Structure 1
Amino acid sequence: MLHWNGRGLRAVAFALAGSIGLAQSSFAEDRVLSEAVDFSGQVLYLQTDVPGLVIGAVRNGETAVFGFGETAKGSGKTPDGDTLMRVGSVTKVFTGAVLADLVADGSVKFTDHLQDRLGWNVTVPAMDDKPIRLIDLATHTSGLPREVDREPGPENDPFSTLTKETYEKALAEGVQLFPAGTGGLYSNFGFDMLAAALGSAAGKPYDALLAERVLEPLGMTDTTFAPSEGDRDRLMQGHNFDGSPLPDVPNTPVMSGASGLYSTANDMVKWLKWHLDRFSPEMAEMRFLDHAAYVQRDALDPTYGFDESGHMDAMGLGWIVMQPEGDRPLILQKAGGLQGMFVYHAFAPTRGVGVFVAINEFDFSASMLMAEVVNGLISDLAPR
């Protein structure tokens, strides 16, 4: 949690607020929420010294979104709730939600084997006679590596070698690192396979399936795998570790499950608001399945790649589950980073509070602080 100790930090934050470049895309009637989100965003922006930052939050159905800095260095344009950005691995929890919806309507089962659902002409590895199941892919327990081994693509199209054929070759060569269900290893490979399997099971391209099952029902009109040319003027520029701009580069169809989505703070607030409407009858079975913890940490050996934004106690469908601790309630969270963007979102499903934040520069210390601030803000707005 980020603590505001002493009057000095508060005085500095408010003294500089006028020069930060504040944009309010929504102002909640809940004045406590607005003040907490605004102030947290101001201080986080000052501490990280990134080019730009957007923060949004939900509390008991009320929402607030604030932006600071610039969408790109020197642009003079302050980000707001409609600023478009890559959300990287936050894509995974959308893939998990699609899985939850298909399980809810009986189209698939969590225990279906990847081999039976993938629909590719390849034999999926099964170490120690433990087939990889859909639930293993969704909880990072498949034994598949973090990334598929591939040739690097050109600078202006680095993902061009991330193809179905690349994945088929890896699967055929027995790429699995440990038997499915026995360990936990964060895997982009696994979530790309999950999306491919879900699209095959539904008989349609995965992007169409995601739109049908999640994006359209939630009204997330700015969440997409491929922004239109007309939308590019509101795209947030990502920056590398040295502060240089990174190009926005195209996705390939096979990376849809792990990292391909673009979205806005306003759409991410809609997403969080849906998760927090836990007594709504609309899509209730899907939400119930999506919020469950399926694998406890103490059941896994090894566990690697889960704790950058807070200690993982259990795994949901792409969600990192953090059990209550001290004043902090139960939290489901997921972070992402791609092409110079770091994003993080988390919510307390029983407390009605969720927060999304994004920065447009690769800075690991800033990304860790960002998660700390969000988790602390949830604790402040919804203490146990």
Structure 2
Amino acid sequence: MNNLLPLFVVGCGLWLSFLGVWGRLSTFRTGSGAGSAGEPTSRASAAVTVKAKVPTSLRIKQIGGLFWFCMGIATLWFSGIRDPRTRPNSWTLASVGLFWVVIGVWEFLTTVPRRVRRQLLSEENGRLAEIVTQHVEQAFPEGHVGLVVGAIAKDEEILLGFGARQVRGSQPPDADTVFEIGSISKAFTGILLAQRIESGELELDDRIAELLPEGWSLSEPAREITLRHCTTHTSGFPRLPANLLGISDVFHMLLGGDPYRDYSEEEFRNALATVKLTCDPGTEWGYSNFAAGLLGFVLATQNGTDYETLVTSKICQPLGMHRTTITNDDWLREHMPANYRFVLNLGPASFGLKSDEWQLPNHLAGAGAIRSTGRDMMTFLKANMGLIPTPIDAAIQRSHQVLFQERADRAMGMNWIRSFESAISQNIIWHNGGTGGFRTYLGFTEDHQYGVFVLSNTAIVGVDALAAGILKTLVRDQGPVSLPQSMATPR
């Protein structure tokens, strides 16, 4: 029995640690870590400080940390390290005890709540600010540095900045702070395609091979791929071009480098000519930056321009999104925050590993090259929700329509993902994004009554669960509207 006691104690510690980690992973997936709204927040537009609340999963992790720490101290005490002759294994026991102490301190300190700076970036709306702030408070211990969050509930909206532009900074990101929005760029590409469909210039079932520049070609299996396949992730293309990442590129990326920095148009052309499909086109869903980048490239080429010029002239200018761009300039560099691939929070102290900015070349830009601000993303969200009149309304709404039913609760529009959320009994139309140092999300309910976006300058922690939690709370708080039967079922 005495021999089993150490195993039992160690098992308890491992179980507590597992529960804490599992709780955090569950929060990332479902947003279940968000609870009811807390105390009313300040109505001042100046930056204020709120204390991050610790969700149950992190409380369990704290208890696990204390457990390991106490076990380590006890092991060190009884190891006999002061007189090794009395215990032959004293150095081994001491090493184990020291390891447990380090694990315990790390587990505990990474869950200590921090003071979170918050700045109101729009007109005050007390209830919306409460909901958003309460969710962000619970998410911050997971490792965020800076966030900009926009939320819309029926005829009300709020824009808030949280945290800081850099680790150990004091200034929250504002409405003009620039973030790499990553794969939310695909939603822009979908709208560009919808515009060409609306105008009659292209058809969804036009083959990509016939739209490539002269002298370009696709491998034999890929020649039947259409615009529809590319915009619904059913092309059978791999996630990335086979010749994008060599061994040195992988190491460069792990060290925070830009994996796209040296990927030439000639390499892209060769990748198309030799691409191997993972399935027959139109039969299976498989997320592909390669196919989305190709779609953006084809649309720009057909228009006789590059992707940035196309998205600026066809979407950003009509919507008045004047700070949404791809190319770096002096204003953008001044307003871009530090961005981090990894952040370690040890109580009040934080440490971060920075990432290079990602510069996707023109031939892959449609997959994730766009940078934008909270102010512009609020405009983009409202345009997609139909809350403001725009000259491209028809194309925007067309881009949301179902083109491929992946499974019962998820379908694809023109690069938009449509997920049925049983908690609110309707579909959410959304896309997320991630680059080396940024994570983003933008989504709204199909009834166009509720929407949210989150921009983060930390890549190690996702924002999907945070955004989904806010969105669900908005619907529950204000009550769902009556939906047509077709909108109240998965599709």
Report what 2:325 is aligned to: 224
Deviation of 1:113 after TM superposition, in Å, equals 0.7
CA distance in 1, matches of 2:433, 2:466: 12
CA distance in 1, matches of 2:437, 2:320: 27
**Structure 1 residues 136, 27: CA separation in 2 closer, same or farther (over 3 Å shift)?**
same
CA distance in 2, matches of 1:228, 1:279: 29
1:3-58: CA deviation from partner (whole Å, max 9, x where unpaired):
66589x76999962794211111125x5433332233333333x423111111112
Report what 1:167 is aligned to: 268
Aligned counterpart for 1:351 among listed residues 442, 448, 471: 448
CA distance in 2, matches of 1:325, 1:231: 40
Letter in 2 for 1:20: V
Aligned counterpart for 1:16 among listed residues 39, 51, 64: 51
Question: Please, which runs of 5 or more residues in structure 1 have no aligned partner?
Answer: 299-310
Report what 1:285 is aligned to: 394
**Structure 1 residues 382, 284: CA separation in 2 closer, same or farther (over 3 Å shift)?**
farther
What secondary structure sits across from 1:191 in the alignment? helix
Aligned counterpart for 1:131 among listed residues 224, 232, 237: 224
What secondary structure sits across from 2:340 in the alignment? coil
CA distance in 2, matches of 1:319, 1:48: 28
Greater shift after overlay, 275-284 or 104-113?
275-284
Contact 2:119/2:172, CA 8 A, preserved across alignment: yes
Letter in 2 for 1:94: F
CA distance in 1, matches of 2:170, 2:388: 43
CA distance in 1, matches of 2:269, 2:34: 52
1:239-267: CA deviation from partner (whole Å, max 9, x where unpaired):
11353111224332222100111101111
Report what 2:144 is aligned to: 50
Greater shift after overlay, 155-164 or 205-214?
155-164
Contact 1:65/1:80, CA 8 A, preserved across alignment: no
Is 1:25 aligned with 2:121? yes
Deviation of 1:320 after TM superposition, in Å, equals 1.0
CA RMSD of aligned residues (A): 2.8
Contact 1:41/1:66, CA 8 A, preserved across alignment: no
Aligned counterpart for 2:308 among listed residues 180, 200, 207: 207
> Rg bigger for which structure?
2
CA distance in 1, matches of 2:460, 2:287: 20
**Structure 1 residues 40, 167: CA separation in 2 closer, same or farther (over 3 Å shift)?**
same
Q: Which structure has greater helix proportion?
A: 2
Is 1:147 aligned with 2:240? yes
Report what 1:83 is aligned to: 177
Report what 1:301 is aligned to: none
Report what 2:211 is aligned to: 117
CA distance in 1, matches of 2:187, 2:264: 22
Greater shift after overlay, 169-178 or 367-376?
367-376
**Matched residue count:** 367
CA distance in 1, matches of 2:50, 2:394: 48
Is 1:379 aligned with 2:472? no
Letter in 2 for 1:253: N
1:338-369: CA deviation from partner (whole Å, max 9, x where unpaired):
021111111113132110012222224x4353
Aligned counterpart for 2:279 among listed residues 178, 188, 194: 178
Q: TM-score, normalised by structure 1?
A: 0.86
Letter in 2 for 1:319: W
**Structure 1 residues 332, 237: CA separation in 2 closer, same or farther (over 3 Å shift)?**
same
Letter in 2 for 1:241: F
1:182-213: CA deviation from partner (whole Å, max 9, x where unpaired):
11110000011001110122222221111111
Report what 2:159 is aligned to: 65
Which residues of 2 match residues 262-301 of structure 1 at below 5 A?
262-277=371-386, 280=389, 282-298=391-407
Instruction: Point out which structure has higher relative CO (alpha carbons under 8 A, 6+ apart).
Output: 1
Report what 1:305 is aligned to: none
Runs of 4+ aligned residues of structure 1 deviating over 6 Å after TM superposition are: 11-14
**Structure 1 residues 267, 160: CA separation in 2 closer, same or farther (over 3 Å shift)?**
same
What secondary structure sits across from 1:185 in the alignment? coil
Deviation of 1:270 after TM superposition, in Å, equals 0.4
Report what 1:369 is aligned to: 465
Deviation of 1:97 after TM superposition, in Å, equals 0.6
Is 1:187 aligned with 2:222? no
CA distance in 2, matches of 1:358, 1:168: 33
Deviation of 1:226 after TM superposition, in Å, equals 1.3
What secondary structure sits across from 2:189 in the alignment? helix
Report what 1:307 is aligned to: none
